[in-house]
Structure 1
Amino acid sequence: MKLREIIMDAIKYPISDTRKFLIFCALIIIMSLSTILPSYGVKDSTLSLILTLVTLIVAFVVLGYSMDVIKSGTERDDTLPDFDYVKQFVLGVKALILNIIYFIIPLVIVIIIASATKLFSSLTEIVNVGINSLANETTNMTTIIAAVPKSTMNTFTNALSITLIAGIILFIIFSFLSFTAQVRFAKTGSGTEGLRFREILRDISKVGLIKMIVTLIVIYIITFALVFVIGLIGLIPYIGVFIGIFVGIPFIILFLYRAIGLLYADA
């Protein structure tokens, strides 16, 4: 599909079935109760615990439903998925585990790079110098920094630069892998499929890396624009916040996952 077709379809998709959209909005409302009620003075500890548990359960259902939205996009099905709360709860749990895996891998690599470049050891030495300076009642930041050996500061600066650059590159790479893994998982319901790196790379190749980059940039720009609009709606007295959170956020979620599904429709 062309970029314009993906965007136009994804914008119309959330309200293609009013009943299902309102159910999804209701799930977002339920999921938000644990943060909303305390702001109105409801601070019962037992109720808070129950609401937190409910929020967690519903959040998994919402995430699982989002996986079904991706699947419908890959199949170019124009209807919102039916609600199957148990199935979608399980999907949500699996999706979260998959996302954690794709977060842990680059995190571990970054930690290894930081350790190899002596980022941690140089930072520890700088902190110790700072503590000793404060113990000697030195509070001037310039004086404290000047007390750090030049070699230590150079090591820290170089290690930090290398680690940050590596972290950014890894984040970008694993973001693409994670998106594709989620799509493979959404299509099959199998977490194992989300870890088949050879097939993931093949799917990326089929979609086209440039197309993926451009489409995701446009999707995120539109998402940020929608968030800005929600913020403006939130300025309306009394009802603005409710409209923004309980209608705007569900719309954005469905738009985002639908667009991702359509992007991979040709994979």
Structure 2
Amino acid sequence: MPPWFSCFRSLLAQQASPSPLPNSEADLAGYNLYYDTNSSGDYQNVINVGNQPQYTFVGLETGVTYRIALTAYDVYHNESDFSEEIQILIPQPDFKMEIGEVSLNHEWVRVDFQQPFVDPVVVANPLSCIGGDPTTARIRNVDGNGFEIRVQEWDYLNELHNKVESVSYLVMERGSYILDDGTRLEANSFATDDTGTFGTVSFDQPFQQVPVITTSIITENGSSAVTGRLQAISTESFQYCMQE
């Protein structure tokens, strides 16, 4: 094995950051990193990292084992054989999820989590229908300990919703997860100002089947009542816009 192939086994124990040793050969031009999730066979992905002595993968799927190997190439475009293959399991973040229900009207109500979160994603389900006026659930001030929520009527109404409604909510730590039964979940947030046209939102990792998506608007940068509209849901993305 050439001296520049001392690559990465110890460095990949906890993270995908292969680091070949510096090479003394004057005609070395760079390195190619090959990786795949198949248990055997050809590598389906390759990254040319140039002559950088270290490279960190981003966007790898958690809970999945990756096969990784390295080659080197010279200034004449000759490529070496593969290095010894290493395999690494990308660990999943701790899965945190909480569900609850709260009673509310047009006044802001603070909801405290039962456990602290680092980067929570909050989604509220549709409101009950105790009062007859059209409404939406409005969320703001999400932090690691809770959030605020209220009933908001549409702007052509008087903004007062004195009937007490109930709404259920779901909180998850931001991230992608694979449950014990193989179900894949993703909790994330995105910024948008699209109100007239739909914008595309991509998942961190593609799903094997078209997923079920639920969304909530979790800021109050504008005071008008607003809700979200979705279309074109696929295994890789969906389209979203706000409707006032």
* Both proteins in one fold, TM over 0.5: no
TM-score range (shorter-chain normalised) is: under 0.3
Where relative contact order (Cα < 8 A, 6+ residues apart) is larger, the structure is 1
Which entry has the higher C-alpha Rg, 1 or 2? 2
